[in-house]
Structure 1
């Protein structure tokens, strides 16, 4: 709950397949906070209009979507003005977000971030090796209007994110590098895949700065 105000009054959806790690966040997010979880039928999940009606009927407050799925939901919402949604948060993950495509949503929802009833849109980068999220950034109308490129924000509390060069040294701001993820929320490796684990999970040269010994980072 570092950034969110989830509680027992929230209504979540289980929209995604159990095989997609986004479902872990959906399932346990609701259960951890004592909220209600609405299991979305498969056919409804493939019909943006039907899903929009379900969101309104069930008074869903926490929605988790890949950007491509949300763009379709936006189109359905535009075709059905006046949908009485109760959303408080929309969390994106699973693929790169194009903030400029959200501009129309902000225009049509309670004057954007200034409206008391407008949901907070959040972009969260994640990888299977951390199941689920790595980073967080709250979006706003200005970012969408400016056509900003996708950004992943800051690391969540139990993870660290480094951008390093080929010598595993930090690169200056604005310089291209490779992203590495470390911290307590990182997996230990791949079950039964020792060679792949050794290739992708490498020693963290900065672990001592955080009081750790022998920890690894994912590349």
Structure 2
């Protein structure tokens, strides 16, 4: 069991990718050199030998057994949380009407990954039903942003689930709220902003922001766009308290307009005045001497 990036063996109890080595190891995949290169890699401990990467997540137990934890390609990281997609699928399958369930991570227009759940059910289900049931067992960050109900799951030629053929979430599950069109100019402008932030085609003024793909990060983007395009400022907690366009429009209409002012660009210079936070770090470095407490490593491609 090796760590991420083929870095060596994992200690007992620490999860990693299950790999196979030894005299019985196959030479590779027949007529598939790219897949062979991906899966059959150099042994991290024995020069000249190779190991096969199974794609399975596992860990050693103290008694010498290996515990299987799921597929690595079914594990995703969204907004800083590592999520096992199979856990969400298992909770969906506990719902009586649901016959099949698949959860994947899709990138939205801004390149951010969002959880999208696909279900096949005996009856039409609503977002509020699905979110309500899942929230009883799962934390908020594991609740999918989108739900899509299908008549049947797409299959490949050999009868397996074809995840790449799953449709984009435009045809999402109904929210359970009757569609009401915007009635005022403020509501109409909010509809346009919501559609842009959420990446959805149709939004009613009584749809709940958090039931049609919204979350806390998107709420902050929403606040910024409302301030910039409507010259009105609302608080983050107010997005949670007034989570429909109808309620949000009432907030905006009852407030004074606040002109949006962007931060001006400074002219190029050999040096710039430090901020208060930078002054603090400088003083600490002078008092404590050299250290790496405030170093922040990162990798850029």
Same fold (TM over 0.5): no
TM-score (norm 2): 0.23
Q: Which entry has the higher C-alpha Rg, 1 or 2?
A: 2
Highest relative contact order (Cα 8 Å, sep 6+), 1 or 2? 1
